[in-house]
Structure 1
């Protein structure tokens, strides 16, 4: 995600995402097969791999359907009052953008916001460094500059330094590191947000920075699965495409193999068209086949991923808004298998809650899938620890 006032229409991951596929059992070539596979994966038992069947049952029993739905939504906010109202409405998280009043960073404000609802809310931000920096005093260089001038150990130390600063301000989630592999010019859509055009370098440095964020007490979210570094354009401006999965497997997806296995981290999916993977008319963020690829892992040689999947912004990026309303996009993303649908304002929050709640009550979004997503979000917040 790379957001500013000029790009805000209404409103992660932080962040843009992509995925790609060929006609294999892991990346089906037909929409129907892909949807069935994704539904099967998304509806896995809420207890998850290696967890007792009773994991989280007490937590879930205390929530209504609408409260559960709220936990899967993250909205951008204008100021502290806007954020507090959203949390009181039950959202799972708020996003602090470039347009947000800087008063939110004052002592104790965001901590108070996070506690304003029944369940503690995530407070998220894009702090990649360089030109994508939202935190006062972060003084973090771009990913490309960091990899060029620092060792891996120093990169982890920088992540820890910035993580501690963010935690002191009440920020709990950073839509970073950017795990895209790119040789684009510095000022292009990814450009210097990428550590390198070498996937091995990207893997080492993104893992180090994420570990540093965790050291500092902040939850990292890798982006943009399965790789925006070779995209045809900027999804803020319209639909874009990336190479097919067979090519992404050899380069762009390699850092995400490590991300999926790293533990205690999220992954953001964005809005790309991937030949052979994405269904007609659906970018990766709304694509069941893409979610299946990420969740299952076998289609690109990764371990299964049971952490939360975030969407990129669903309201300020034309790759989405040219085709879908916010409630439509939010509902489609969650049906596809995302755990948190992100958009950059509190506009249409009520309509989105209504739309997803209706999908649950009609059976379109199963209770099992809903509960599984709620528990992934709760574990990321460390509200549920099993």
Structure 2
């Protein structure tokens, strides 16, 4: 079971785990790295009591934008080293509690042109992201177990007119590390929400968006409604039969997801 629980203004569990807690920016300004790890561990333990095993946090976007902008105070700051240290501590605290952290929004929403909930977003060119927005990922993708969420971000020099979440080039950048100085990453890759964000929904229905993100190499396609499930499954079955989605890719994703979930002593009995 997964949740978007960052603290601050993105807190889906505020009524269940004792309020929102500080934003990421406030944490970086007022707490030590160890204190942030402890806070994330405590919140992670509360999530586990609710049956939650995946948290779509921490945000590792690098920005000094005002607090109330799309990323704003959800970011730990404008310095990549600070973001790496504090996001790493938050992720480790979640791991300490038995919750999988998911870094977001690859390859970097911090300097995007707008809000992908409202429409298409363009980032600076890839060459600019390498020295800033992508820096935290070089370290944090090595600290397993960890997942990565790919954002709905058009990146000049990488994705063309496609959002990164539907771009094979963007997922390959994450998987190989080639091009931004990171090691290969073979952990689970998630899309951002495919049903409620205009950067996607203005262009594609849910079924087509799910297929495209899986074709790009994501392991898990996210969307927030349930009514499309039958149509999505029908479209994916059709894509498998037609060779639009290779079974080998599905098998690799199954292995990654199974590894993420961990061994089940009762499995196979």
Q: Deviation at 1:356? A: 1.2
Match of 2:176 in 1: 296
Structure 2 counterpart of 1:159: 40
Asked whether the equivalents of residues 163 and 213 of structure 1 are also in contact (C-alpha less than 8 Å), the reply is yes
Would you say how many aligned residue pairs link Structure 1 and Structure 2? 262
Aligned equivalents of 2:263, 2:126: Cα separation in 1? 36
1:129 counterpart residue number? 7
TM-score by length of 2: 0.95
SS of corresponding position for 1:248: helix
**C-alpha distance in 2 between matches for 1:215 and 1:226:** 26
CA-to-aligned-CA distance 1:59-114 (integer Å, 9 cap, x gap): xxxxxxxxxxxxxxxxxxxxxxxxxxxxxxxxxxxxxxxxxxxxxxxxxxxxxxxx
2:96 matches 1:218: no
Give the Å deviation of 1:279: 3.4
CA-based RMSD: 1.2
Match of 1:61 in 2: none
Moved over 3 A (4+): none
In structure 2, the CA distance between the partners of 1:232 and 1:157, relative to structure 1 (3 Å rule), is same
Where relative contact order (Cα < 8 A, 6+ residues apart) is larger, the structure is: 1
For the 8 Å contact 1:375–1:384, the answer to whether it is kept is no
| Partner residue, 1:204 | 85
Alignment of 1:49-128 (within 5 A): 123-128=1-6
Query: What TM-score, normalized to structure 1?
Result: 0.67
Distance 1:254 1:124, change over 3 A: same
1:218 is displaced (CA, Å) by 0.6
In the TM superposition, residue 138 of structure 1 has moved relative to its aligned partner by 4.2
The residue matched to 1:341 in structure 2 has which SS?
A: coil
1:43 is aligned to none
Residue 215 of structure 2 corresponds to which residue in structure 1? 335
Measure the CA separation in 2 of the matches of 1:252 and 1:133. Answer: 24
Structure 2: gaps of 5 or more residues: none
1:255 to 131, 136, 150: 136
Aligned equivalent of 1:276, options 143, 146, 157 = 157
Q: Aligned equivalents of 1:146 and 1:230: distance in 2?
A: 21
What residue number does 2:70 align with? Answer: 189
